[in-house]
Amino acid sequence: MAQASVIPPARAVAPARLAFIDNLRWLMIVLVITMHAAVTYSNMGRWYYNEKAQLDLGSRLFFTTYQVWLQAFFMGFLFFIAGYFVPSAFDRKGSVRFLRDRAVRLGIPSLVYMLVIGPATIYYLLVTKQPGYSFAAFWAHYTIGPSIRQGGTGPMWFCVALLIFCAAYAAVRVIASPSAGREEWLPGNRHVVLFIMAIATATFLVRTVQPIGTAIWNMQLCFFSQYVLLFIAGLHACRHGWLLLIPHRFGMRWLGLSLGGGAVAWFALLITAVRMHWETKSFDGGSHWQSAVLCAWESFFCVGVCLGLIVVFREGFNAQGRSARFLSGNAFAVYVFHPPVVIAAALALRGFHAPPVAKFAVVSAIAAVVTFGVAPALRSVPVLKRVL
């Protein structure tokens, strides 16, 4: 899926409204909710609140598999989708308007989260342990201290990163003089394999200095090689019309390989790791061969799933009824506002005695229903109308 040139030619054809892409986008955002609910009970990952539940072996295997498989593709896929719409938007608007619109669309929700939603969420967790603590004092300390830089963006790191990617694209487009026109060209198996190898190699190299679990300004750079390359792939997908041209058999073959072969490889690696008592940190990064194997598996799984989902949704879910339009229209608002809802649901269920996996499922469902339920009201707030 990669080309020698990073920048597609100018005048990319503006994509028509693609219902299957809208459906994929809201599905990925629902998966974001489930990921944060999973971290709440697995204690594997960065999140505001962890229940510190005791996990039996089955629960640990479930959460490890679910989170690793999901992390392997879902955020990268969102960057791919975002990249797909960038060239045509730039061509229609020009560099100044393109960057201004992106700054408004991505920057304002990020600031709202950093200055309102994030501090309010943390304060809510704080007062459950220290009643009477002043919100004004907390907010002042939070916004001028290191906390807002270290994790203040919360899940809005995605929008901040996307804004940076768009600015980089605009800068190169201004400097470069790409040729006009649209060229239909499809990647073959060789290109897909080379793309997988590029993601795996770059990810391994980054993780030698930024292993899993580390972050800079709330950006987990250990995953950013995938994000950058999939964003670039999205640019080329727009230029070459890949989303509509990828053959059914090609996409389904890679989906089958990633799910079938990927599952066999994953569980073989998991069983071997348990039997050999390998340290978890050897998979997180550094110059360990275990890290290289995990990077290769993630990249293979990611690309195969992304190719397969494009074909499956294009051919099976390329329409929207009333419900799908509602989910699609409110998905971004759900992404912005879901953290306090997930946390509130988890706190409400603290006294509910059930296995962690069951509580994860219940919290995921409650958070999805509540956030989609209140999203229309949030989108009606004057300051948020334009950006949500």
Distances (CA, A) of 135 to 57, 115, 143, 145, 192: 41, 12, 12, 15, 51
The neighbour count for residue 279, using CB atoms within 10 Å, is: 10
**Which pLDDT belongs to residue 5?**
39
Global pTM reads 0.92
Asked if 120 and 340 count as a contact pair (C-beta separation under 8 A), the reply is yes
| Cβ atoms 118, 184 nearer than 8 A | no
Q: Say how far apart CA 325 and CA 44 lie, in whole Å.
A: 34
Q: What is the mean pLDDT of each run of 10 residues along the chain (388 residues)?
A: 40 68 97 97 92 90 96 97 95 94 95 92 83 81 75 92 97 78 78 98 97 93 98 94 94 97 94 82 92 97 98 96 96 96 95 93 97 95 84
- CB under 8 Å to 115, separation ≥6 — which residues? 143
Please give the pLDDT value at position 3.
38
Contact 332, 379 (CB under 8 A): no
User: What pLDDT score was predicted for residue 385?
Assistant: 82
Query: Which tokens is 148 given?
Result: 């807002």
Residue 92, pLDDT score = 92
pLDDT for residue 88: 92
d(CA 349, CA 98): 44
Distance CA 276, CA 89 (A): 52
Give the amino acid at 387: V
Q: Which residues of 168-207 are buried (b: 16+ CB within 10 A; e: fewer)?
A: ebbeebeeeebeeeeeeeebeeeebeebbebbbebbbebb
Tens-place pLDDT, residues 211-222? 999 999 899 999
Q: Which residues of 81-100 are buried (b: 16+ CB within 10 A; e: fewer)?
A: bbbbbbbbbbbeeeeeebbe
Distance of alpha carbon 331 from alpha carbon 351, whole angstroms? 30
Name residue, tokens 């004004």: 136
- Looking at residue 81, its amino acid is I
The predicted pLDDT at position 263 comes to 96
Residue 137: φ, ψ to 5°: -65, -40
In this predicted structure, what is the pLDDT of residue 16?
62
Question: Per-domain residue ranges for the chain?
Answer: 19-212+220-384
Q: For residue 183, what pLDDT is reported? A: 64
Q: Report the pLDDT value the prediction gives residue 136, as an integer from 0 to 100.
A: 86
